[in-house]
Structure 1
Amino acid sequence: MSVSNITQEDRSLMSNYQKLVYIIPLICLLIIILCSHFVGNILAEEAIDKKTSEKQQYIIRQVKFEGNRLLSQKQLSSLIGVQPGENFQKDTLEAGIFKILDEYRQRGVFFAEIRPRFEYPPKDSSLAQIIVTLQIRESRPLKIGTISLEGNKLFTEEELKSELRLQAGDFFNDAAFNDSIERILQLYSEHGHPKVKVSPVNFDVDEKSGVVNLKLMVDEGPLVKISEVQVEGLQKTKESVVLRELPIRPGDIYAQEKIDLSYQRLNNLGYFYEVSPNLLQEGAKPDEVIFNAQVTEARTGRFNGVLGYAPPTSLDEKPQLTGVIEASESNLLGTGRSLNLLWKSGALDLYRFGYEEPWVFGKPLQIGVEFSSLKQTEKYTDAVSKERSGSLIIGTKLIRRLEGALALTYKRIDLPAGMFLGDNSQSGVKYGLKFSLERDSRNYYLNPTGGRVDKIALEISQGDFKLKKLWLDFNQYLQTWKKQVLAVGLHAASVWGLNIPPTELFYLGGANTLRGYNEDWFRGPRRLYANIEYRFLMGRTSQIFLFLDLGTVSKIDRPNTFESLKIGYGFGMRLESKGGLMSLDYGLARGDSALEGKVHLSLGTSF
């Protein structure tokens, strides 16, 4: 089987042919062992066929289990799939018995026997009911005796055994055995041998002693190199722009980790709507493979509009509308350069422009500039503070998945006298130096099913406002069931210093922090909040979800004292296609009625 069949499934881009090499012999050996012990005892075929040949339909009156010790009655009942009151179906019962035997096998009991017994009503009875009794003989669980390996040269037998999840004396377990083989395959793939084959050549089982001795044959295969690195399907993006982002080059020794990282990187660049997981093809020689990424380009230009609506909470209060308009291009002219414009209206009015050059001097060095203008209006006095700023941002990749950035910032802040901090309020300038680190291991940034994003940032400023600011952000994504993901975000921020202007405080509330509350409704020198979402994935980039938000800010005059915890909850959806995005959140604050929720609607188009 060719290397082109390597896909991103059970293990990222693990070769399917590698799995078949050890799974097929194992299955054959298990069939030989197991068939002789329990297949003949699965069903009393003659008894069933003799009665059912009368074409009489029976109703199951009761299902009983005898002789079971390892599995409880409740566990067996859930596995058998046959319930009292149902019509008796031979195939259903047979499938249930196989499930029970499989469960025993997962627990190391390979020689369990199940004999069904049927109690039929008398011939003169008008009741067509039967009682099914499953007589179970639980054999002794198999234990590992000896494990030996042959054919290995690159690694010693001790090194390979250290990768095994099964050791001498352990109970034999199918899942642990398969995982052990996977770990050996992974080890070889990380050291240039993706065509390694591991086959069980001896599966010696002693039923009386309950011991199984394993012998594994290792065919290491050739040392494989990457002969070519290609990208197919590009229309707008220059090939060199994509290739420079990948950690592999022609002539590199094959390393599975780099292949996996390349696939993740292609997905997270934001240039492509789809990336085929079939990345590898056979080369011209047995010791060569071709890295050939097949992609479908996305529309990287976006125009989004967000509308927030909060109904009035009293008769003399007006409903509150907030809005955000954003235009961005993340792959300008196919060069990877990014450009964005943002306008936001609400408690904070914001205008922002940003541009980033992703590669400078042929190195992964990002240089960006950002300009913004902010106006903050006091809720009760209508006093206005303004801030105008400019930033120069320099970033680079430090190590795998870890990026660092340094930002130089200039801000001009104008405050009305006595607005916020009494007689100490002032207007002035602030010079800031901000350092940040970010680690991103998400498997797909738009709709992750695994991985996390961690970010820490520290800013020190001088000038008329001598401040220190800290940000901590942690986001984790865990797949719970098929197409279901739990997303958890934890966020903290703090500012220290004298004469803290209101534009330097941290705000809480709205679509990005605390849904169920008005946009930027709370503020303080300290901020803590958490977002918990349970997502149901509807497609590669679409989802519906339930959410719970919790957050608080500290008091302005007492920074170490926090206000009461605010709780928001609700539901939302993100629906995206090649042409655009629709996002909707409906959030309720604690104590709100169902009709008092806050609506956050975002409509966008791609170009």
Structure 2
Amino acid sequence: MLLFAFLFSFLLDNNPLPKADSVLIIKQINISGNQKTKESIILRELDFGTGDTILKSEIDKKLDLTRRKLNNTNLFNSVELKTVEVAKNQISIDIKLMEQWYILGYPVFQIVDRNYAEWWQRGASLSRTTYGIDLLHGNFRGRAERINLRLETGFTQRLELGYRIPYINKAQKTGAGFSVTYIANKNLAFKSLNDTLYYFKNFEEILRKRLSAAIYLRKRYGFYDTHTLELRYNNNSIADTISNLNPNYFLDNRTTQRYFQLSYYFNYDFRDNVAYPLRGNRYELLLNKSGLLPNDDINQLELTAAYSLYKPISKKIYYGLYLKGKVSFPERQPFINTRGLGYFGDLVRGYELYVVDGSSFLLARNNLKFQLINSKIHLKFLKIKQFNTIPIGIYPNIFMDYGYVQNNFATENKSKLANRLIYGGGFGLDFVTYYNMVIRFSYVLNDKKERNFVFGIGREF
């Protein structure tokens, strides 16, 4: 008994209970500004609830994490949190929101090349653009549901319909969605040679048709992790002209490719801003199996993993690191399904004009940036509150990237960049503004001693 009493007192000494004056009790949470958004969607993102007890030393951290999560829902232009003392050691938390404009119908005009540098090299022709309209409701019924209809013509004809509901159960942990996409091309990249895409056009004939339909379930156990399971059906076809130009487009001189696809995607996202992060980290894992049935036209397995780190070095200097790797099997793959570096934003900066095909790759990107301006401009003459406050951020930066692509058939397409280390770097200027828009101007060079100016619109890696 004496031994037990001694151990109990020892544990108390090393894990002292918090003093009464060091804790706060949350008596009330007041939310304002959510004219459309349901309170349940907002409360799901809070690190605290009514009646919770919080250490005074942790309250600022809790508020900052909550502000971060509410911002990253992409439902609000601004989020403000503050505490109000209502009695001794008792507080209320006021959450003031400014909602975004959720119903958008805006014209689409974009290049079809992988980036503006490639588009410019190919003559900056308007024939290499698509145009149309994108109709979006980003907060349908106030439940963060998303409905999207996209109509495009020009270089590519596209019809796309998508729907997403973040939560289908009372626990607000399970979501679902579906999408249907039809795409037709009369101008098509049919092969890569010397690490460059080659195109063929025929305005009298559709060269490729793609139809895909997908349904998915998404599970969110905590605040920062999501698990997505998706089932997709793909039906692709090409004209005889394309199969003659490249018998490996679908392999074996095929003109059709039909298959089911099952994928699992894990995402842990602890970044302060999903569009342009300065702090936090992110883990991603994708396992994708193309070809589920015996009669499917493809049998391919792909594993992709990525890690991002964003860290302040000083008050206004920030470092960013992005690592990504992919392995896929078998090594012999259809051209349309072989994606190394140069596609979907996976590129070594300085190699914007190239593609490096292969079944597996590694990519490392480094960025060091300085926060020159972080401010807001208020347009008093504009009465629509969702648009009359413009956040402005300007970040000069320097960067350095490395990449490696494995391709056991590199001699077939005369690749000089596969199976060796490639690297590039440069410096640039990033402009960050509202609705998650990031505009970049960069001067880049690579290990081939090639230099170029690059313009881009998109998110941070």
Measured against aligned partners, the alpha-carbon deviations of 1:436-479 in whole angstroms (never above 9, x if no partner) come to 11111112323322210110010123222111111111111010
Measured against aligned partners, the alpha-carbon deviations of 1:463-515 in whole angstroms (never above 9, x if no partner) come to 22111111111111010121221111111123213763222221432782323
* Aligned equivalent of 1:553, options 405, 427, 432: 405
Residue 399, structure 1, aligned to residue 222, structure 2: yes
Aligned residue number for residue 107 of structure 1: none
Confirm or deny: 8 A CA contact 2:340 2:360 kept in the other structure: no
Q: Which amino acid aligns with 1:548?
A: M
Aligned residue runs from structure 1 range 109-258, under 5 A:
156-159=12-15, 219-221=19-21, 224-254=24-54, 256=58
Measured against aligned partners, the alpha-carbon deviations of 1:403-459 in whole angstroms (never above 9, x if no partner) come to 111111111133554634397343232111111111111123233222101100101
Q: Which amino acid aligns with 2:274?
A: Y
Aligned residue number for residue 310 of structure 1: 117
Q: Which amino acid aligns with 1:265?
A: K
* Aligned equivalent of 1:377, options 174, 177, 189: 189
Residue 359, structure 1, aligned to residue 167, structure 2: yes
Aligned residue number for residue 421 of structure 1: 248
Residue 492, structure 1, aligned to residue 325, structure 2: yes
- Residues 520 and 472 (structure 1 numbering): CA distance in 2 closer, same or farther, change over 3 Å? farther
- Residues 225 and 497 (structure 1 numbering): CA distance in 2 closer, same or farther, change over 3 Å? same
SS in 1 for 2:271: coil
Aligned residue number for residue 288 of structure 1: 90
SS in 1 for 2:21: coil
- Residues 353 and 312 (structure 1 numbering): CA distance in 2 closer, same or farther, change over 3 Å? closer
Confirm or deny: 8 A CA contact 1:477 1:488 kept in the other structure: yes
Query: Structure 1 residue 275: deviation in Å?
Result: 2.1
Counterpart CA distance in 1 for 2:321 and 2:29 is 37
Comparing both structures, which one devotes a greater share of its residues to helix?
A: 1
Confirm or deny: 8 A CA contact 2:364 2:401 kept in the other structure: yes
Comparing both structures, which one devotes a greater share of its residues to strand?
A: 2
Confirm or deny: 8 A CA contact 1:411 1:429 kept in the other structure: yes
- Residues 472 and 533 (structure 1 numbering): CA distance in 2 closer, same or farther, change over 3 Å? same
Residue 483, structure 1, aligned to residue 316, structure 2: yes
SS in 1 for 2:333: coil
Aligned residue number for residue 535 of structure 1: 369
- Residues 330 and 571 (structure 1 numbering): CA distance in 2 closer, same or farther, change over 3 Å? farther
Confirm or deny: 8 A CA contact 1:350 1:372 kept in the other structure: yes
CA RMSD of aligned residues (A): 4.0
Counterpart CA distance in 2 for 1:154 and 1:267 is 44
- Residues 549 and 393 (structure 1 numbering): CA distance in 2 closer, same or farther, change over 3 Å? same
- Residues 578 and 301 (structure 1 numbering): CA distance in 2 closer, same or farther, change over 3 Å? farther
Counterpart CA distance in 2 for 1:588 and 1:397 is 39
Residue 436, structure 1, aligned to residue 265, structure 2: yes
Query: Structure 1 residue 520: deviation in Å?
Result: 6.8
Counterpart CA distance in 2 for 1:351 and 1:551 is 35
Unaligned runs of 5+ in 1: 1-152, 161-187, 194-218
SS in 1 for 2:264: strand
- Residues 154 and 297 (structure 1 numbering): CA distance in 2 closer, same or farther, change over 3 Å? farther
- Residues 518 and 450 (structure 1 numbering): CA distance in 2 closer, same or farther, change over 3 Å? closer
- Residues 381 and 439 (structure 1 numbering): CA distance in 2 closer, same or farther, change over 3 Å? closer
Measured against aligned partners, the alpha-carbon deviations of 1:105-151 in whole angstroms (never above 9, x if no partner) come to xxxxxxxxxxxxxxxxxxxxxxxxxxxxxxxxxxxxxxxxxxxxxxx
Counterpart CA distance in 2 for 1:470 and 1:346 is 34
Confirm or deny: 8 A CA contact 1:513 1:549 kept in the other structure: no
Confirm or deny: 8 A CA contact 2:365 2:402 kept in the other structure: yes
Counterpart CA distance in 1 for 2:444 and 2:153 is 21
Aligned residue number for residue 93 of structure 1: none
Aligned residue runs from structure 1 range 527-606, under 5 A:
527-537=361-371, 538-539=373-374, 542-544=393-395, 545-555=397-407, 557=409, 562-578=418-434, 581=437, 583-590=439-446, 597-602=452-457
Q: Which amino acid aligns with 1:529?
A: L
Confirm or deny: 8 A CA contact 2:321 2:365 kept in the other structure: yes
Counterpart CA distance in 2 for 1:223 and 1:273 is 32
Counterpart CA distance in 2 for 1:282 and 1:542 is 34
Aligned residue runs from structure 1 range 71-110, under 5 A:
none
Query: Structure 1 residue 324: deviation in Å?
Result: 7.4
Unaligned runs of 5+ in 2: 1-8, 191-196, 202-206, 376-391, 412-416
Confirm or deny: 8 A CA contact 1:487 1:533 kept in the other structure: yes
Report the count of equivalent residues.
Answer: 389
Counterpart CA distance in 2 for 1:411 and 1:428 is 8
Confirm or deny: 8 A CA contact 1:511 1:585 kept in the other structure: no
SS in 1 for 2:221: strand
Q: Which amino acid aligns with 2:144?
A: G
Counterpart CA distance in 2 for 1:597 and 1:345 is 30
Aligned residue number for residue 276 of structure 2: 447
Q: Which of structures 1 and 2 has the larger relative contact order (alpha carbons within 8 angstroms, sep 6+)? A: 2
Confirm or deny: 8 A CA contact 1:347 1:521 kept in the other structure: no
Aligned residue runs from structure 1 range 271-350, under 5 A:
271-278=75-82, 280-283=83-86, 285-299=87-101, 308-310=115-117, 318-319=122-123, 327=134, 329-332=137-140, 334-340=142-148
TM-score (norm 2): 0.70
* Aligned equivalent of 1:470, options 299, 303, 306: 303
Counterpart CA distance in 2 for 1:346 and 1:235 is 39
- Residues 238 and 442 (structure 1 numbering): CA distance in 2 closer, same or farther, change over 3 Å? same
Counterpart CA distance in 2 for 1:312 and 1:592 is 21
Q: Which protein shows a greater Rg?
A: 1
- Residues 250 and 435 (structure 1 numbering): CA distance in 2 closer, same or farther, change over 3 Å? same
Aligned residue number for residue 128 of structure 1: none
Aligned residue number for residue 81 of structure 1: none
Query: Structure 1 residue 597: deviation in Å?
Result: 1.4
